[in-house]
Structure formats: structure tokens, C-alpha cells
Amino acid sequence: MTELTTKSIIIGTGVAMVSFIIYYTYHAYRRSIKPSKYMLAAEKLGLLGYNKSNGERISAESQQEALLKIFHLAGYFNLSNLWHDLNCLGCIKNLETVFEEISAVVKFSNADQPSPEKFNAKYMRKNLFKSVNIDLQDALDFILYIGQHAFNRQVGQERYELISHDWITTYMDEYRASARLLRLIDREYPSLNEYDGGWIAGASRVALAQRIIDFNYYLVSRNIKINGETLILAGEREIWANIDGICPTINEQLLAASRNNVNADTISFPSSIDDDFARIEEGKSYIMYLAQYYNIKLNSSKPFIQYKNKDECPPNRFPNRIYPNYDTSENSKLTETLMSHDLVRTYFNTNVKNISIVDTLAEGQDRPNTMSTARDAAVRLVKRIIAGDYGDKKAFVVLFCTNNLCMERQKLATQQQVNQFLEKYDLITKGYEVKIEGVGYSCKQQLSTVHSELGALLAEKWRTVAVNLEKLLGKKPKRDIRSLLFQTRDKAIIVSDQPKIKGHPSDSLLKRWFDSYLA
């Protein structure tokens, strides 16, 4: 063999090896940068990043990983839980193959152990639902389905009645950090100096009082002008002492904050059994006062009633709550609407003009909620637009005042209702647009309540995506939302035994290296 031939073989071998390395490097790179269906679904759900009021940018990646971190802390990536939820989700082709593929992602991201320090959320974000065996709708529905474990509220159950989880107590700092990235914790500020309306979301007495105080604070501290109506979105929700009472020490803080035009974050909420007792007793006194003010007769010998179990309760009432006990001759009830009028008299700044209360009626056994009160406010606004009250104006921004933990969800629900009525009256095609801008004070709730709100937020985001996809594609979602939501999905589905994992699909070290260093 000549020297030239030997050199040619060496060069050819070298070129082949380099080509081989380049091919597999490029292949690993392409696999790494291809977005997973989790990423695509999270983008559809609005996890796109945002700018904080201080100018700091929160990236889409940070938000998407924050959701995964919360799911991990809650144990939703436990393989037995995943197998159960995939079965209950239904309509998944090649179920065992999908489970095996997800199991591999769980293994490589260290999601099958409890420590948040070991969990690789970035790897999971980039690889969850990357298989051809699961489509974008499956990914969206699965996120909602497992997120509904967080909701965990029975029909009629209030957030304050939830019991805290041990894992939330153990990892409260990690949970709060992720919830903050999902906009469930911090105060949200107005971005404009002028708005076409101000809407304040209805709530329990102490929450609504703080929202009114905060609304005043925004207007005064930022010199904000409301050109249209200021509405309180209330309704036919019966009041009761446990939720509508205010501890006297907190009441003093509320009145001082109202007088001094300071924000609701300055109000501290001590929590003890004594405070709970004082709140309930004050709630009873308030019910007596409100009944006298509106001339609504209570039973003179027994003005309050409390039920021990659900069987004793009449429609729309629940056990362990202290309700007004009306006189047999009385047809009226003490409602959130009447309470809202009282709170306007008590806390609203006298500089605020043109205040109205939206009185949304209950629908059967469904009491007024964010969507129904927002619907009535939207109808009111649209009718004024049609009547020509705004002249040629077509672009509107409404300042929507609520609070965290629920600001993002309530804003989405309200925007959806407004859009529906603009579309119903053919105003969108004529160039009309109404933007709902959500603001409010920071979250003061316990983290078990925040976790439940996360489930509610994901449901609202899913609804928004479903409406948009139906308009775009002209077809309904693969699964009815009732089969996904905690309160309406079938909890009696019999699930077959979890299959044995045959062996995790290989994931090259090179691809994992790209996953680590590329966004």
C-alpha cells in the first residue's frame, strides 16, 4: 500500500468521523430546539412572560417552568398519578406508549422524587409531550386535568374552608416563588392615567372593602381619571357571618386606610382562634345592623341559624355557616348587593362620582359569580355604546379592580364576557374594542387557597383557548370541559393496573447537554 493511499484512507476516515459527529450533533441540536407540546400548550394558555411594574422582564420560560415546579411539589408527576390521569383523560391513542414516553421525561428530569432542588424543570419544559403520539389538544387538556387537582373544592365550598396540605407547609418558600411568577401573589398597578370605566369585582365584605380602598388609592396616588361609570359587580349572594364578618382590629385599619387614602397592602391580618371568634361575632352584629337599616325582619327570638349537615340545608345554604334567620313574613334577603351599597357609604372617597351597583340575580342554585356579574356589566357597557353615549369613540379601556390571588383569572373571565357581547351585537366587525386591565392589592391568603386558585385560573385560561381555537379551526375541542373540571368530571372511572415500564427511550448525552444550555 502506497503512502498516498494510506493518507487517503486516513483523510477519508477522518472526514467520515467528522461528518458523523456533525450529523449527530446537528440531530441532537434540532431535537433540543424543537418546542415540546407542553411549551406550545403553555403559550396558548398565556404563559408568554410579562413586564413587571418595576420594568423587570419575566420570561415565558420562567412562567412555564414555574407551573411545572408547582405540579412537582404537589406530587402530580408521581407515575401512579400520571397513569391514573392519562386514563381518566380519555381519547389518547397508544396510551401505554404515551405513558412510557412521559415516564422517561419524568425520570430524566428527576420529577419522581420530592426534592425541588433535584427537579430539572427546564428539561421537563423542553421535553414533556414531545412525542408524535400526543397532540396539542391532548397537552392542553392534560395540563387542565392535573391542574384541577389543585382546585380541590366541592360545590358550594369556599376557599377559606380548604384544609392546607403538608407539602405546601414544607415547601412554602419554593411554592410562593413559583406562584409569584404566575402572577398570583404580587400587587398589579394601573398602566394608564385615564380610563373609560372603573369596575370593582364583588366579594366578601372584608375583600370588597379593601378593593374599594385600593380603587380610591389608585385614583388619588396616581391622579387617575375615570371618564365613565364606576361599577361594583355584586349580586344576589346571601351574606353570612363567617365570611362577611370583620375582626374589629381589622375594621379600624380599614377605616384608617380609607380616611388616609393608603393602599390595602398596609392592612395586616392576624390569624388566631380568638380573631376568628371576633370576626364571626362582628359578622352577627353586622347582619343585625344591615337588617335594621334595610327594614328586613329577622326572627326576634332566634336571629341566626346554623346547619349541622347538608341534609338539613335548604337550597343555596351549606353546613357550618351562620346565616340570618328571617321572620316567616319576610320575603327579602340580605345580599352582597345590599352590603355593597353599605360599603360604598362607608369607604368610598367622596371625590368618586357616578357609582352604581350591578345586582346580578342568582340562576337556579347557582349564585352570582365572576362571569355572571361581568356579563351584566358588559351588557350595560355595550348598551351605552349602541345608544351613542360615547359618540364616535371605538377603543375603550376599563380599570378592573380586584386583588391577587384572583386578579388574572377574574380579568380573563371579564374580558371573555365583554368580547362575547361585542361580538353578539356585531361591534367587533365595526372596529370596537374593549380592553379589561386588571389591578389589585397583593395576596394575603394562605397557600392552600392560592393552590386552589391556580386550578381555577387554568380553567379560565383553557376556556379562552377553546373559544379562540373554535373560531380559528371551526371545530369544538376534543373533550368537553365538564369532563376535565374537578367538580364535574367522573371520579368513579376504573383504571387498569399501571403497566411495567419496558425501558426508557434513550436520550443522548449530547441532546441533554443542548437541553441544559439552550433556552
Q: Are residues 210 and 172 in the same domain?
A: no
Q: Are the beta carbons of 109 and 121 closer than 8 angstroms?
A: yes
Confidence band (pLDDT; 50, 70, 90) for 28?
very low
Task: Domain count for the chain, please give it.
Answer: 2
The answer to the question of residue 12 being in a domain is no
Q: Are residues 67 and 138 in the same domain?
A: yes
Comparison of pLDDT for 11 and 107, the residue scoring more:
107
CA pair distance 80, 497, nearest whole angstrom: 9
Which stretch of 37-46, 238-247, 370-379, 474-483 has the lowest confidence by average pLDDT? 474-483
3-state secondary structure of 298: strand
* pLDDT mean across residues, the chain: 90
- Beta strand pairing call for 197-201 and 355-360: unpaired
pLDDT at 382 over 50: yes
Nearest to 205 by CA among 161, 151, 250, 272: 250
Report pLDDT digits (tens) over 122-170.
Answer: 999 999 999 899 999 999 999 999 999 998 887 777 766 777 889 999 9
The answer to the question of residue 458 being in a domain is no
Read off the pLDDT of each residue in 175-185 and give the average, rounded to a whole number: 98
Q: Are residues 161 and 229 in the same domain?
A: no
pLDDT at 29 over 50: no
Q: Are residues 174 and 275 in the same domain?
A: no
pLDDT of residue 111: 97
Q: Are residues 322 and 349 in the same domain?
A: yes
Side chain identity at residue 205, one-letter code: R
Confidence band (pLDDT; 50, 70, 90) for 25?
low
Which stretch of 9-18, 86-95, 162-171, 406-415 has the lowest confidence by average pLDDT? 9-18
Q: Are residues 222 and 283 in the same domain?
A: yes
3-state secondary structure of 359: strand
Q: Are residues 391 and 480 in the same domain?
A: no
Report pLDDT digits (tens) over 332-374.
Answer: 999 999 999 999 999 997 677 789 999 999 887 788 999 999 9
CA pair distance 285, 320, nearest whole angstrom: 18
Nearest to 263 by CA among 320, 298, 218: 218
CA pair distance 251, 248, nearest whole angstrom: 5
Confidence band (pLDDT; 50, 70, 90) for 22?
low
Say what angle helices 79-89 and 95-108 make with each other, to 10 degrees. 150
The answer to the question of residue 27 being in a domain is no
Confidence band (pLDDT; 50, 70, 90) for 4?
low
Q: Which residue matches cell numbers 394608564? A: 192
The answer to the question of residue 34 being in a domain is no
Take residue 97 and report the three cell numbers written for it. Answer: 406508549
Confidence band (pLDDT; 50, 70, 90) for 328?
very high
The answer to the question of residue 3 being in a domain is no
pLDDT at 30 over 50: no
Read off the pLDDT of each residue in 490-507 and give the average, rounded to a whole number: 80
The answer to the question of residue 129 being in a domain is yes
Take residue 325 and report the three cell numbers written for it. Answer: 334567620
pLDDT of residue 515: 53
What end-to-end distance do the CA atoms of the chain give, in Å? 51
CA pair distance 262, 9, nearest whole angstrom: 82
Comparison of pLDDT for 478 and 12, the residue scoring more:
478
Domain boundary among 421, 442, 463: 442
Burial class (CB in 10 A: 0-12, 13-18, 19+), 172: middle
- Structural domain of residue 113, as residue ranges? 44-181+472-517
CA pair distance 294, 141, nearest whole angstrom: 48
Q: Are residues 498 and 436 in the same domain?
A: no
Q: Are residues 240 and 363 in the same domain?
A: yes
Q: Are the beta carbons of 241 and 284 closer than 8 angstroms?
A: yes
The answer to the question of residue 455 being in a domain is no
Read off the pLDDT of each residue in 77-93 and give the average, rounded to a whole number: 95
Domain boundary among 420, 442, 464: 442
CA pair distance 231, 243, nearest whole angstrom: 22
Q: Are residues 313 and 395 in the same domain?
A: yes
pLDDT of residue 503: 63
Q: Are residues 177 and 198 in the same domain?
A: no
Report pLDDT digits (tens) over 268-311.
Answer: 887 666 688 999 999 999 999 999 999 999 999 999 999 999 99
pLDDT of residue 509: 54
The answer to the question of residue 11 being in a domain is no
Q: Are residues 203 and 177 in the same domain?
A: no
CA pair distance 62, 53, nearest whole angstrom: 17
pLDDT of residue 471: 84
